[in-house]
Amino acid sequence: MASRTLSNNDAPMAEINVTPLVDVMLVLLVIFIVMAPLFAQALRVDLPQTQAPPLAEPKVLDVEITREGDLRVDHHAIAAQALPETIRNALTVTPELVVRLGADQAVPYGRVAQVIADLQQAGAGKLAFATEAPARASVAQEKPSRAD
């Protein structure tokens, strides 16, 4: 058997031809650029007219945890042991009640978790968390300033 030697013509090609890949990517880019305005436009829908009354806003009960850890229900101080019973009573009057929980940011997470557990034990199925948007002045102050 004769051994075969590799010449320059028999060497495997180590380069990848990326031209077809670039062509396909450019075509896809053009398609997405052309289709993007179509995705942003809203469809016009002619809704039917009805005589139904508008839906009522849900009743919201505010539960707040102060910085000291004290509880307030609708801005009235309440003992922690009385919270489940107060929520149960409110839910019997308004079953669709939404409980909005607000806590000072300095309150430990364990205290907030305990209040959430008490609310769940009382049967509060709809729980919302109250937050506050940052003030525009404080957001502007947080931006780094350039020294020229």
**Mean pLDDT score of the chain:** 82
Predicted confidence (pLDDT) per residue in 77-130, tens digit: 999 899 999 999 999 998 889 999 999 989 999 999 999 999 999 999 899 988
Considering the domain 60-129, what is its CATH architecture? 2-Layer Sandwich (3.30)
Q: Domain locations in the chain?
A: 60-129
Give yes or no for a contact between 104 and 132, defined as CB atoms under 8 angstroms apart: no
Give yes or no for a contact between 53 and 90, defined as CB atoms under 8 angstroms apart: no
Question: What pLDDT band is residue 134 in, cutting at 50, 70 and 90?
Answer: confident
Query: Can you give the pTM of this predicted structure?
Result: 0.55
User: Per DSSP, which regions of 15-139 are E strands?
Assistant: 60-65, 71-73, 76-78, 98-103, 127-129
CA 123 – CA 98 distance, rounded (Å): 11
Mean of pLDDT values over 60-75: 92
